[in-house]
């Protein structure tokens, strides 16, 4: 989170003069709109915002923003962003990345950033495919997917972003769908205000190489019944008619119908994103259709000390105690002798 | 000081402390060096230790050594051959026998020369006779039993008692060289502040060794080395890694910037990260990254954000950083990459020295990807070249690779401390706040350097990245633009030559043979050349610290010599580089890849061969 001053921006203020070159119909268009809306609402001075990306379709994002931007190399956005934030904690630093960039070539950096809890907002565009290299499977592709590099079907198990975040002791995880600009905007605002690493998984559609990959849950006509939008302090109710909910059945989540078997709203779990114990949040992030609705919204958001703050504090506390205040002091510190 | 039948004044002496990795030889050597330095001797040290932290006890592979060269006049190297060898076990004799001067002194711990240890070291029965060392000054001291005896009523456990053996040996060496014990005793008091018993035990062992040496008198002659005639000033001992770290901090202070280091621990470069991590008092931000790539990328992010950014590594780590160095070249961000070279390829000999990363530093990247390359040549001038690397990086908006090596990193020498106000101010080309719209690749006409707009500055928002850009910062695949930008980036590096010093010839400006070196071989080469000159040969020496770009006067210097020999610890990388840059000359070569520096002897032999036309 960065201190905000009163700035009145409109989303348009965050558009750069560059022509957007994503494919027509690509989910990225909706994502950038939501981000620009969120930034306008946050009101952080434009010069204090930096967008950092790696390689992939999503990573062209910084060029289309009128803020500071750094389009880096494959897999390394997390660490470039880390350096930017640690060097200048006053900046609001956003990392734009994809499932390949963040979880394959950059997987190591991703878990370490989350572990350290660096105050970054990581937007992970998950289309379950390599788009820029024209259609190879990714670490989030479902097992069995047929792509150019898995012509007989992939034999790999996919990663799940939320589970990785929780596994790395992460403090903030949210999920949204590219086309749901309203929900996405709310999530980006909440992520920006959270101090620490905020990971937002966006279920994003690649119209060319993996078209409709999320349609079974994200399509307008089914999404109310096949997803659940979690809001902190609210009961976990979903469905077109708000007639379904989640309860804890033993050690597992279970979908129930309100009104059936005597179930009322009182029986339904209330979402607690701020609960430190990640047990239920982990189960929520793990839910898959058709057994469960796919969880959207801020699933986990717990406070914690950020790396960038800890580094700054340590320097301050050492400086308070040390007699060495400049290079001359250091040069003359310890065993020295004089030659006359 | 007691009775001494003979005191010999010596110009210089080389002492080697050697034992098992756990025997504390590095500490004995360091304490002896500090004592000599405080006395005013010039000196140079070199620790030589195995890659394994504790290799099997008593084996040659586990031998750890520390060599110190103490002199009345200037000392440039830790020395080839030892006048005195302290050997804590038979393996130490095995590892060092060929490095002792004819007739030199060998002090060994007799108690450790058991049948088992003798066989373990690869001898049959008697290391002294099997190595033909009988005519040396061999002192078999029962060091283990002497410390046991000295500390018998002290209440220490047997392990701790034996741990003071190194101090007993050091006490003997102090007597031999007529040194005072006070510095070492003070060191114990400070180190064992909370364990006064340990401080006392070490003092007792040290004194016991000192008096033992006095009593047996077998240690004649006693050596005396007068203080060196150094230039006036305040001095301290410093090793290459600490000097490098300090040069960077000094540069940050002179540039008015924060220093950010992003590194991953790697032998023999870790000392730089460790020293910088300890310097929170001077505001250094140190980031111990999850890998080498994260090291350089966090540094590059910090550079984008306006810090003086540094990453330190050794050869294998430099390989991993290649792609990110390319990104730094493309985005024209300042960054210093320090490569403390070790013997390669791959993991190679992690603790041994070599100069074989030169080509990697110059060319190890995709695309036309030129960077400035510098090399330090002594432990203390690591400070100067680290400062210079940072200055060039910041003022020319470019990555700079600084090559050090294992020998410089761990070696120490006395260093006249600079005064900060004597160092030049560093002026990074920060963008003017009115440069709106900011064009990231607009350059100044003279140096072709772009300006640096730091995030947080209103109105200068811009985007950079690894894709080719136009002057305005727009992504461009236009063929002409790419060629133009490649040439501009290359020319920018070339222009650094306008402000680097000419190479200096040591000796006459013309002659029969010019010895050419670069980086860390300096000490050995200048010593050998000085001796050749004293023997009447027309030999001179130049050492290169600026590798890319090269100084402008190379041709003028080279053409005045009948022959040129390039000496380096690799198979000829700098020689080949010179062949490419100055094909009009013929270059002889002296190369070595044994993990050790040159010896003076082998340099002189090779030069004599050339001079005799062989």
Q: Verify whether the Cβ–Cβ distance B236 to A318 is below 8 Å.
A: no
Cα dihedral across residues B173, B175, B180, B185: positive or negative: positive
- Residues 212-241 in B contacting A (C-alpha not used; CB under 8 Å): 230-237
Q: Which of B236, B280, B301 has its CB closest to that of A82?
A: B301
Nearest Cβ partner for A84 among B232, B279, B304: B304
CB atoms within 10 A of CB B283: 17
Distance CA B66, CA B52 (A): 16
Summarize chain A as % helix, strand, coil (round to 5): 35, 20, 45
Query: What local confidence, expressed as pLDDT, does residue B3 receive?
Result: 37
Residue with tokens 């660096």: A118
Q: Using the structure block, give the residue that is written with the tokens 């680290």.
A: B386
Six-digit token string for A214: 């999320």
- Establish whether the linkage from the previous residue to B437 is cis, with ω within 30° of 0: yes
Shared-domain flag, residues A96 and A204: yes
- ipTM of the complex model: 0.96
The two structure tokens encoding residue A54: 């790696």
Strand ranges (DSSP E) for B179-231?
A: 222-224
User: CATH 3.40.920.10 in chain B, residues?
Assistant: 7-224
- For tokens 């270059």, the residue is B587
Q: How many other CB atoms are there within 10 angstroms of residue A214's CB atom?
A: 22
Give the pLDDT confidence of A279-308 residue by residue, as tens digits: 999 999 999 999 999 999 999 999 999 999
**Residue B34 in 3-state DSSP?**
helix
Residue A151's contacts (CB-CB under 8 Å, 6 or more residues apart) are: none
Question: What DSSP designation does B441 have?
Answer: T
**Euclidean distance between CA atoms A119 and A61, whole angstroms:** 20
Query: What's residue A2's pLDDT?
Result: 47
Any chain A CB within 8 A of the CB of B185?
Answer: no
Using CA atoms, how far residue B230 sits from A14, B67, B74, B234, in Å, is 63, 22, 8, 10
Residue A220 and residue A279 in one domain? yes
For residue A148, being part of any structural domain is answered with yes
Distance, CA of A59 to CA of A62 (rounded, Å):
7
The CATH code for residues B7-224 is 3.40.920.10
Task: Give the pLDDT of residue A143.
Answer: 96
**What's the confidence (pLDDT) of residue A64?**
97
State the count of interchain CB pairs (< 8 A) between A and B. Answer: 202
pLDDT tens-digit profile of B264-276? 999 999 999 999 9
- Yes or no: say if B299 and B311 are a contact pair by the CB < 8 Å rule: yes
The CATH number of B511-611 is 3.40.50.920
Low-confidence ranges of chain B (pLDDT < 50): 1-5
Q: Find the closest chain A residue to B35 by CA distance.
A: A335
Chain B residues with beta carbon closer than 8 angstroms to that of A108: 290-291, 294
Could you give the CA distance from residue B401 to residue B315 in angstroms, rounded to a whole number? 12
Kindly report the number of other CB atoms within 10 A of residue A260's CB atom: 9
- As given in the structure block, the two tokens for residue A224 are 């109310």
* Residue A324 sits at the chain B interface (C-beta within 8 Å): yes
CA atoms of B377 and B324, how far apart (whole Å): 27
Examine the domain organization and report whether A102 and A247 are in the same domain. Answer: no
Q: Which helix (H) or strand (E) holds B95?
A: helix B90-96
d(CA A126, CA A177): 10
Q: Which of residues 130-159 of A touch B (CB under 8 A)?
A: none
Residues A141 and A249 in one domain: no
Q: Give dist(CA B24, CA B92) in Å, integer.
A: 13
Q: What pLDDT, on the 0 to 100 scale, is given for residue B72?
A: 83
* Cβ proximity of B308 and B280 under 8 Å: no
Q: Would you state the pLDDT for residue A6?
A: 54
Q: Name every chain A residue with its beta carbon within 8 A of the beta carbon of B456.
A: 47-48, 88, 90-91
Same domain, A187 and A298: yes
Are A140 and A266 in a shared domain? no
Residue A70 and residue A116 share a domain: yes
Contacts of B236 in chain A (CB under 8 A): 331, 334-337
Biggest CA-to-CA distance, chain A: 97
Q: What is the DSSP string of A38-61?
A: HHHHH---GGGEEEEE-SSSGGGG
- Tell me the helices (H) and strands (E) count for chain B, helix number first: 21, 22
Residues A138 and A151 in one domain: yes
Q: Give pLDDT, residue B176.
A: 85
Please tell me which residue of chain B has the smallest CA distance to A331.
B417
What residues does CATH 3.40.50.970 cover in chain B? 236-422
DSSP string covering A58-106:
GGGGGGGBSSEEEE--TT-HHHHHHHHHHH-TTSEEEEEEEHHIIIIIT
Based on the structure, what is the number of domains in chain A?
2
Whether the CB-CB separation of A213 and A335 falls below 8 Å is answered with no
Chain A residues lying within 8 Å of B291, measured CB to CB: 108
Mean pLDDT per 10-residue section of chain A, whose length is 340 residues:
64 95 94 98 97 95 98 98 98 97 97 98 96 93 96 96 96 97 98 98 94 94 96 98 96 96 95 97 96 98 97 98 97 87
To the nearest whole Å, the CA of B553 is away from the closest chain A CA by 34
Distance (Å, whole) CA B164 – CA B147? 7
Residue A319 to residue B281, Cβ atoms within 8 A? yes
Contact criterion met (CB < 8 Å) for B465 and A69: yes
Of B230, B237, B456, the CB nearest to A90: B456
Do A63 and B463 lie within an 8 Å CB cutoff?
yes
pLDDT value for B225: 67
CATH number at residue A296: 3.40.50.970
Structure tokens at B484: 């133009």
Of B246, B282, B302, the CB nearest to A83: B302
Neighbours of B476 (CB within 10 A): 16
Q: Is A62 on the interface with B (CB under 8 A)?
A: yes
Inter-chain touch A109–B234, beta carbons under 8 Å: no
Cβ separation of A109 and B461 shorter than 8 Å? no
Please name the residues between 219 and 238 in chain A that touch chain B, using a CB distance below 8 Å: none
Name residue, tokens 């954000």: B305
Q: Tell me, what's the pLDDT at B604?
A: 96
- Residue range of the domain that includes A107: 11-234+271-304
Q: Which residue has the tokens 């905007």?
A: A185
- Asked if residue A170 and residue A255 are part of one domain, the reply reads no
Is residue A195 within 8 angstroms of chain B, CB to CB?
Answer: no
**Do residues A26 and A147 share a domain?**
yes
On whether residue A15 sits in a domain, the answer given is yes
- Residue B447 makes CB contacts below 8 A (sequence gap 6+) with B395, B396, B492, B495, B498
Cis peptide before B345 (omega within 30 of 0): yes
Q: Quote the pLDDT of residue B177.
A: 85
Which residues of A are less than 8 Å from B233 in CB distance? 338-339
Nearest Cα residue to A268 out of A235, A297, A229, A231: A235
Under an 8 A CB cutoff, do B253 and A327 touch? yes
B297 CA: distance to closest CA in chain A (Å): 5
Of the candidate CATH numbers 3.30.2320.50, 4.10.520.10, 3.40.630.30, 3.40.50.970, the domain formed by B236-422 belongs to: 3.40.50.970
Cα–Cα distances (Å) from B320 to A52, B297, B316, B347, in that order, read 21, 11, 7, 13
| B282 to A330: CB separation less than 8 angstroms, yes or no | yes
CA angle B436, B398, B360 (to 5 degrees): 150
- Which pTM does this prediction carry? 0.90
* Residue in A closest to B307 by C-alpha: A87
Quickly count helices (H) and strands (E) in chain A: 11, 12
Token pair 């001898």: residue: B123
């Amino acid at each position: 989170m960065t201190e905000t001053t009163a700035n009145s921006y409109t989303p348009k203020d965050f558009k750069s003069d560059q022509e957007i070159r994503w494919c027509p119909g690509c989910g990225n268009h909706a994502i950038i709109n939501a981000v620009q809306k969120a930034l306008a609402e946050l009101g952080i001075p434009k010069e204090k915002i930096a967008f950092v990306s790696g390689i992939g379709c999503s990573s062209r994002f910084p060029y289309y923003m009128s803020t500071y931007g750094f389009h880096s190399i494959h897999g390394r956005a997390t660490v470039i962003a880390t350096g930017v934030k640690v060097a200048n904690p006053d900046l609001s630093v956003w990392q734009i990345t994809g499932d390949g960039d963040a979880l394959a070539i950059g997987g190591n950096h991703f878990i370490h950033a989350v572990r350290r809890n660096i105050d970054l907002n990581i937007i992970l565009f998950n289309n379950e495919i390599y788009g820029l290299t024209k259609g190879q499977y990714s670490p989030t592709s479902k097992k069995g997917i047929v792509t150019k590099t898995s012509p007989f079907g992939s034999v790999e198990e996919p990663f799940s972003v939320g589970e990785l975040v929780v596994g790395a002791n992460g403090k903030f995880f949210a999920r949204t769908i590219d086309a749901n600009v309203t929900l996405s905007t709310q999530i980006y605002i909440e992520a920006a205000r959270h101090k620490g690493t905020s990971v937002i998984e966006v279920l994003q559609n690649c119209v060319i190489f993996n078209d409709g990959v999320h349609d079974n849950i994200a399509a307008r006509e089914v999404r109310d019944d096949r997803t659940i939008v979690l809001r902190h302090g609210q009961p976990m109710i979903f469905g077109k008619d708000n007639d379904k909910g989640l309860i804890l059945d033993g050690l597992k989540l279970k979908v129930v119908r309100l009104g059936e078997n005597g179930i009322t709203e009182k029986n339904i779990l209330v979402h607690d994103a701020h609960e430190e114990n990640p047990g239920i949040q982990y189960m929520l992030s793990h839910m898959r259709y058709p057994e469960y609705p796919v969880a959207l919204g801020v699933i986990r958001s717990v406070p914690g000390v950020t790396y960038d703050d800890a580094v700054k504090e340590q320097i301050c506390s050492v400086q308070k105690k040390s007699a060495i205040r400049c290079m001359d002091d250091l040069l003359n510190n310890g065993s020295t002798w004089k030659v006359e | 000081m007691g009775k001494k039948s003979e005191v010999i004044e010596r110009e210089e002496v080389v002492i080697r402390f050697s034992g098992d990795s756990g025997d504390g030889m590095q500490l004995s050597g360091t304490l002896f060096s500090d004592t000599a330095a405080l006395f005013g001797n010039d000196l140079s040290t070199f620790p030589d230790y195995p890659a394994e932290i504790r290799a099997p006890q008593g084996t040659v592979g586990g031998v750890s050594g520390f060599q110190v060269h103490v002199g009345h006049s200037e000392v440039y190297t830790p020395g080839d051959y030892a006048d005195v060898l302290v050997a804590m076990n038979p393996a130490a004799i095995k590892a060092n026998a060929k490095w002792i001067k004819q007739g030199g002194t060998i002090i060994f711990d007799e108690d450790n020369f058991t049948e088992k240890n003798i066989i373990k070291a690869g001898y049959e029965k008697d290391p002294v006779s099997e190595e033909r060392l009988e005519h040396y000054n061999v002192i078999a001291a029962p060091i283990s039993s002497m410390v046991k005896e000295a500390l018998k009523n002290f209440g220490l456990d047997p392990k701790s008692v034996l741990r003071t053996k190194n101090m007993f040996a050091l006490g003997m060496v102090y007597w031999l060289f007529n040194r005072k014990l006070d510095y070492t005793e003070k060191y114990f008091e400070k180190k064992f502040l909370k364990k006064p018993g340990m401080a006392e035990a070490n003092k007792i062992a040290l004194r016991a060794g000192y008096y033992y040496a006095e009593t047996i008198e077998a240690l004649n002659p006693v050596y005396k080395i007068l203080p060196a005639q150094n230039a006036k000033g305040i001095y301290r001992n410093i090793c290459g890694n600490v000097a490098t770290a300090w040069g960077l901090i000094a540069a940050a202070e002179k540039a008015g910037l924060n220093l950010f280091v992003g590194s991953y621990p790697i032998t023999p470069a870790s000392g730089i990260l460790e020293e910088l991590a300890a310097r929170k008092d001077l505001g250094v931000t140190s980031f111990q990254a999850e890998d080498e790539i994260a090291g350089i990328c966090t540094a590059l992010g910090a550079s984008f954000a306006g810090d003086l950014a540094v990453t330190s590594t050794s050869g294998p780590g430099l390989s991993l950083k290649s792609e990110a160095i390319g990104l730094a070249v493309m985005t024209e961000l300042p960054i210093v990459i320090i490569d403390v070279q070790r013997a390669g390829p791959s993991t190679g000999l992690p603790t041994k020295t070599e100069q074989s990363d030169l080509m990697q530093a110059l060319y190890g990247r995709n695309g036309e990807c030129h960077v400035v390359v510098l090399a330090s040549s002594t432990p203390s001038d690591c400070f100067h070249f680290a400062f210079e690397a940072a200055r060039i990086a910041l003022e020319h908006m470019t990555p700079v690779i600084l090559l050090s090596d294992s020998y410089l990193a761990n070696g120490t020498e006395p260093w006249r401390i600079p005064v900060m106000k004597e160092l030049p101010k560093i002026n990074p080309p920060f963008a003017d706040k009115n440069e709106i719209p900011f064009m990231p690749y607009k350059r100044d006409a003279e140096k072709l350097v772009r300006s640096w707009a730091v995030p947080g500055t209103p109105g200068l928002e811009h985007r950079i990245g690894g894709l080719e850009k136009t002057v305005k910062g727009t992504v461009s695949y236009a063929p002409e633009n790419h060629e133009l930008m490649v040439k501009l980036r290359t020319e920018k590096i070339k222009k650094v030559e306008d402000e680097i010093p000419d190479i200096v010839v040591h000796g006459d400006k013309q002659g029969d043979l010019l010895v050419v070196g670069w980086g860390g071989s300096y000490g050995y080469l200048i010593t050998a050349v000085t001796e050749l000159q004293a023997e009447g040969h027309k030999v001179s020496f130049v050492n290169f610290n600026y590798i890319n770009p090269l100084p402008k006067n190379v041709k003028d210097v080279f053409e005045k010599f009948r022959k040129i020999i390039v000496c380096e610890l690799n198979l000829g990388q700098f020689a080949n580089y010179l062949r490419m840059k100055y094909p009009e000359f013929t270059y002889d070569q002296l190369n070595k890849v044994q993990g050790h520096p040159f010896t003076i002897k082998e340099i002189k032999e090779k030069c004599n061969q050339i001079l005799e036309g062989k």
